[in-house]
Amino acid sequence: MPHTSQFSSLYQVLATLSALLIQIVVGINEGWPSVYGPVLLESFNITTSEEAWIVQAMNIGELLGCLVSLPAVDRFGRKMSMLGASLPYLLAPTLLAYATTTPLFCLARLISGLAMGISNTTIFSYLGEISHPTIRGKLTMCLYILNLLGIVLINVVGSSFNIRNSSFSTVGIVLVFVLTFVWMPESPYFDVMKKNFDRARKSLVKLRGHPDVDEDLDQIKETVKIQTEHEGKFKDLFVVKSNRRALVVAFIVLGSKHLIVDGIIDAYGQTIFQILVPNVSPTLVIVVYYTLEIFTAFFASCLVDKLGRRPMILVALFASGLAILTVGTYLYLKLHTSTDLRYMNTVPATAIGVFAIFYSFLYSIPATLLSELFPMNVKTFASFLATLYFSTISIINITFYQVTTCNFGMDVPFLTLGVSFFVHFVLVYIFVFETKGKSLGDIQRHLETVTTESTAICITYNEEC
């Protein structure tokens, strides 16, 4: 493999950061209900039920965005698909700036979700295909760091600015994304798939930082040739055994992050923290919470390519599960018993802090694995299915939180989700294998050479099944 120095990966970092500017907007969209939900109730005469629809509209739009992106990614390319998503990303905050009724707020959130469905489906493939295996995990971790930065940004801006002004700031971020990303290279894998070898070589020279890219290009050609000998179909995800094994891993890892808590704190953070830490400004708690996650996620990005994906997931799930169960137990005692909790006031804040630290380990791993596990001929279908899965479980998650909190108390969703962490811990331990340091071709060869489906996905660091 050609040399990879600190300087030779500089363009990969620049291309990644440019692509990930849009993730700041994703974070803004996800955190918007937390800061402006109370404003909608107080200033726009919107009911709690209508607010719930405004929150959910984004997830519904994301489902539609998946359908739009499915034919676009392999036809127009990863880069052009992401640039195309900038149009609804610009339209959504413009509508929000002038919305005054529930239908307009829902429409704006629906369009923002549409854009997220397109970009989220595309960005997994783009990052996995432009990055060298030795730094892929670090670059992909940036996806979630900038996502968190967007959530912090909307909470800080939202505490000082009204909906219109914050919406215009979002438009500015999207414009910066367009003006920078338009100069970035297309995925060399996509260029090779389209037989555009000259452009693939030029992209690799930029991304690797040196002209000696023959070995990389030959490896990409071989990988693409093997993976595209037969035109991929959606059913291949389920019919081809190696794809089915990869799908099991992807769903378990995606579920580990998105089926548990994720989205609930993003959408209802200020309400939740006002109950858990009543004596501190909820905006301050949110800023501290997400800032802690950002720093921990950055630290984790330095470890993901050294320790590996699997051990980090296991540690994160175990510690996060304990923290959320602690919060759930505290809420149960506070809401349903007469227990004196005066000497336990610091427990929820401490537990949330522990959760923020360890949950951050999960941030990059779903995106990293999704970009690694699937061959070229079905990668678009896999990204589509992953985004569809994420959007669906986000709707289920938030609905579950809304229904159980209103009918039984906030302790029920926290206790239930705490148990879910340990369920996913067991699933990851049994089914998820290590991809650290492996090229995309190596990962496919591993999936194809495993002999039995029951042991296909359960390997340790240096073991071969």
Question: Is it the case that residue 273 has pLDDT exceeding 60?
Answer: yes
| Rounded average pLDDT over 399-405 | 88
Written as one letter, the residue type at 160 is S
Q: Which residues have CB under 8 Å from 223's CB, separation 6+? A: 189, 376, 439, 440, 441, 444
Phi, psi for residue 438 in degrees, rounded to 5: -90, 140
| Rounded average pLDDT over 443-447 | 80
What is residue 7's predicted lDDT score, i.e. its pLDDT?
Answer: 40
Torsion angle of C-alpha atoms 207, 212, 216, 220, degrees rounded to 10: 80
DSSP string across 120-161: HHHHHHHHHHHS-TTTHHHHHHHHHHHHHHHHHHHHHHHTTS
| Rounded average pLDDT over 204-219 | 82
Mean pLDDT over all residues of the chain? Answer: 84
Q: Which of 114-118, 127-131, 224-228, 325-329 shows the lowest per-residue confidence on average (mean pLDDT)? A: 224-228
Q: Which of 174-178, 257-261, 263-267 shows the lowest per-residue confidence on average (mean pLDDT)? A: 257-261
Running DSSP on this structure, what letter comes out for residue 194? T
CATH of span 10-449: 1.20.1250.20
What is residue 230's predicted lDDT score, i.e. its pLDDT?
Answer: 66
Written as one letter, the residue type at 261 is V
Question: Is it the case that residue 84 has pLDDT exceeding 60?
Answer: yes
Q: What does the block give as tokens for 144?
A: 């979630």
Which candidate, 128, 396, 376, places its Cα nearest to that of 262? 396
pTM score over 0.85: no
Q: Which of 40-44, 69-73, 74-78 shows the lowest per-residue confidence on average (mean pLDDT)? A: 69-73
| Rounded average pLDDT over 226-242 | 79
pLDDT digits (tens, 9 = 90+) for 301-348: 777 777 888 898 999 999 999 999 999 999 999 999 988 888 888 899
Question: Is it the case that residue 12 has pLDDT exceeding 60?
Answer: yes
What is residue 443's predicted lDDT score, i.e. its pLDDT?
Answer: 81
Q: Which of 47-51, 167-171, 372-376 shows the lowest per-residue confidence on average (mean pLDDT)? A: 372-376
Question: Is it the case that residue 135 has pLDDT exceeding 80?
Answer: no
Running DSSP on this structure, what letter comes out for residue 338? -
What is residue 175's predicted lDDT score, i.e. its pLDDT?
Answer: 96
Q: What does the block give as tokens for 72?
A: 């676009």
Give the three-state DSSP class for 432. Answer: coil
pLDDT digits (tens, 9 = 90+) for 15-28: 888 888 999 999 99
Give CA separation, 341 vs 36, 334, 336, in Å. 31, 7, 12
Which candidate, 309, 391, 438, places its Cα nearest to that of 110? 391
| Backbone Cα Rg of the chain | 22
Question: Is it the case that residue 6 has pLDDT exceeding 50?
Answer: no
| Rounded average pLDDT over 412-423 | 93
SS (H, E, C) 100-123: CCHHHHHHHHHHHHHHHHHHHHHH
Question: Is it the case that residue 260 has pLDDT exceeding 90?
Answer: no
Choice between 275 and 456, residue whose per-residue pLDDT is larger: 275
Percentage of the chain surpassing pLDDT 90?
Answer: 28
Choice between 433 and 93, residue whose per-residue pLDDT is larger: 93
